Each structure stands twice: as C-alpha cells, then as structure tokens.
Amino acid sequence: MSIMSIMSIMPAASVVDALSPIPSAAELWVLITLAALGLHLFVEHRKWSAAVAITKLIASTGFLITAVHAGALGSEWGRWIFVGLVLSWCGDAFLLARARSMFLAGLVAFLLGHVGYCVAFVTHGFDTTVALAFAPVVVIAGLLVDRWLRDHVDDNMRVPVRAYIVVISIMLTLAVAAWRQGGSHLLLLGAVSFYLSDLSVARDRFVRRDFFNRLWGLPAYYLGQLCLALSVLSLR
C-alpha cells in the first residue's frame, strides 16, 4: 500500500497538496503509523492489554516522526503544529489508563494540544472574515454536543468538558480560516478529522463504551494527526 493509494481517498483538492514532494522517510513513517494503528485495533478487539499500549504509542510516535521528516521544525507555525502533536502524544499515553484522574490529564493534554494548533493557525495567517462567518456554525455544533453529553457527564467533569468543546471549536474555526488564507488542504482535513474523532472519544467515555467507537474514531484521529503533520509540506 503506497502513500499515493492512501491519498486517493481524499478530496481532489487535497490530493493536489499531497502530491507535493514527500520525503521518503516521512512516507515510511506514515505507513508505520497506519500499520501500528491496524495492529492496535486488532489487539484492542482481542483485549491484549500490553499490546494495546505498545501499538498505540508506536502509532502516535509515528505522527511525531512524520512531522519531523516533513519539515515541521523548519518554520514557526510548523513548530507549533509539532507542539500540538507532542501534547496529543501525551494525551494518548494518559488515556491508556481508565482511571478518572488519567482521563482528566489526557483531556488537559489534548486541550493544550488544540491550543498549540490554534497558535499555529494564527501564526500561519488566517482570514478573519471567514473565521467570523464560520464561528456561528461551530457554536451551534458545540451547543449540540454539550446538550448531547449533558445528562451523561458527572458534575465535576462538566467544566473541563465544556472548556474542551470551546477550545476545539476555536481550533476548527481557525483551521478553516487558515485554509482559506492559503493553507494546505491537508490542514483542513486534519482539523476536521480530529474534531470528528473527539466525538467518538466522548461517546465512548460518557455515553456508551464499545469497540465501535474506536473502530471509526481512531482511524479518524490518526488521519487527522498525519494530515496536520504533512500540512507543513506546503512550505517546502
């Protein structure tokens, strides 16, 4: 399976971005990440706990190394993307445990990761008019998500969860606006995929825990992180 076949499932405009020269090392780590993800889903379904942790951390380390080989450290906004990826890696590690305290630590890590992405998009440059026009859409979506979770979230978790909804909504708004300002299509696809993957996490943690949540949520998550890691290629 080549990187080109993976990109063939993306929208046509995203494929144009993906056709920017991809360093072979970055391509290799995309494939390693996807392979580790496939193994992770298999061992999680089989409930092999040690293998679950190992495969997930390999997959998450994969998007970090992909970003490095894509040149994320070579620009200011790319470095902020990398900060977001590192904090996401920490969130993945925390969420391997089921304890409430570790879930809260993971929530904070991902929240700060989204702040990193927000800074990246602001540093990149964004279309203010588009941001203002799109903001009502994400506000409505955020209110719907909050209403969906309201009866399932304990009182002591409502503030952290609502703070997370606010931050990820801002992240998505800025991603759309940065894309309209000339950002990579992969940037937009990454932000949207990450946003959607968080719905699976919320459903799994607060509404109904089952493997189906991870079966679609984790591929969306890793697609999002890989797209964000590769979005810096537009600067090469």
Give the Cα separation of 229 and 66 in Å (integer).
Answer: 6
Q: Is residue 11 domain-resident?
A: no
pLDDT at 10: 41
Q: What is the mean pLDDT of residues 202-208?
A: 92
Given a contact cutoff of 8 angstroms between Cβ atoms, the answer to whether 211 and 44 are in contact is yes
Q: What is the mean pLDDT of residues 104-126?
A: 96
For the chain, the average pLDDT equals 90
Q: What is the mean pLDDT of residues 141-156?
A: 93
Give the Cα separation of 41 and 113 in Å (integer).
Answer: 24
Q: How confident is the model at residue 235 (pLDDT cuts 50, 70, 90)?
A: low
- What does each C-alpha distance from 75 to 5, 9, 138, 147, 234 come to in angstroms? 29, 29, 29, 39, 11
Q: Is residue 8 domain-resident?
A: no
Q: Is residue 42 domain-resident?
A: yes
Q: Is residue 69 domain-resident?
A: yes
> For residue range 14-64, what is the model confidence (pLDDT) as tens digits?
444 444 578 899 999 999 999 999 999 999 999 898 999 999 999 999 999
Burial 20-38 (b: 16+ CB within 10 A, else e): eebeeebbbbbebbbebbe
- Contacts of residue 60, Cβ cutoff 8 Å, sequence gap at least 6: 88, 89, 92, 93, 225
Q: How many domains does the chain have?
A: 1
Q: Is residue 35 domain-resident?
A: yes
- Token pair for 196: 């959607």
What does the DSSP assignment read for 98-115?
A: -SHHHHHHHHHHHHHHHH
Q: Is residue 185 domain-resident?
A: yes
Q: What is the mean pLDDT of residues 110-123?
A: 97
> For residue range 70-99, what is the model confidence (pLDDT) as tens digits?
999 999 999 999 999 999 999 999 999 878
- Of all residues in the chain, what percent carry a pLDDT higher than 90? 82
Give the Cα separation of 207 and 182 in Å (integer).
Answer: 38
Give the Cα separation of 50 and 60 in Å (integer).
Answer: 16
Which residue carries 């800025």 as its tokens?
Answer: 174
Q: What is the mean pLDDT of residues 168-197?
A: 96
Q: Is residue 65 domain-resident?
A: yes
Q: Whole domain around residue 73: which residue ranges?
A: 18-235
Rg over CA atoms, the chain: 17
pLDDT at 20: 58
Q: Is residue 140 domain-resident?
A: yes
pLDDT at 21: 77
Q: What is the mean pLDDT of residues 152-169?
A: 94
Q: Is the pLDDT of residue 4 over 80?
A: no
